[in-house]
Chains A and B, each alone.
Chain A
Amino acid sequence: SYELTQSPSVSVSPGQTASITCSGDNLGDKYAFWYQQKPGQSPVLVIYQDNKRPSGIPERFSGSNSGNTATLTISGTQALDEADYYCQAWGSRTVVFGGGTKLTVL
Chain B
Amino acid sequence: QITLKESGPTVVKPTQALTLTCTFSGFSFRTSGLGVGWIRQPPGKALEWLAVIYWDDDKRYRPSLNNRLTITKDTSNNQVALTMTNMDPVDTATYYCAHATNYDAEIYFDYWGQGTLVTVSS
Give the B-binding residues of A (Cβ under 8 A).
1, 30-31, 33, 35, 37, 42-45, 48-49, 54, 86, 88-90, 92-100
| Cβ contact within 8 Å between B46 and A42 | no
Known: A31-B104, A43-B112. 15 other contacts (CB 8 A): A1-B63, A30-B106, A31-B108, A33-B109, A42-B113, A44-B112, A45-B109, A45-B110, A48-B108, A88-B49, A88-B108, A90-B107, A95-B49, A97-B48, A100-B47
Instruction: Please provide the 8 A-B residue pairs with the shortest distance between their CB atoms, ordered closest to farther.
Output: A90-B106, A95-B49, A42-B112, A33-B108, A97-B47, A100-B46, A99-B46, A45-B110
The number of residues on chain B lying at the interface, defined by a beta carbon within 8 Å of a beta carbon of chain A, is: 25
> B residues 56-78 with Cβ under 8 Å of A?
60-63
Q: List residues of chain A with CB within 8 A of the CB of B114.
A: 42
- Chain B residues whose CB sits within 8 angstroms of the CB of A30 once the complex forms: 106
Q: Indicate the member of A45, A98, A99, A100 with the most B CB atoms within 10 Å.
A: A45
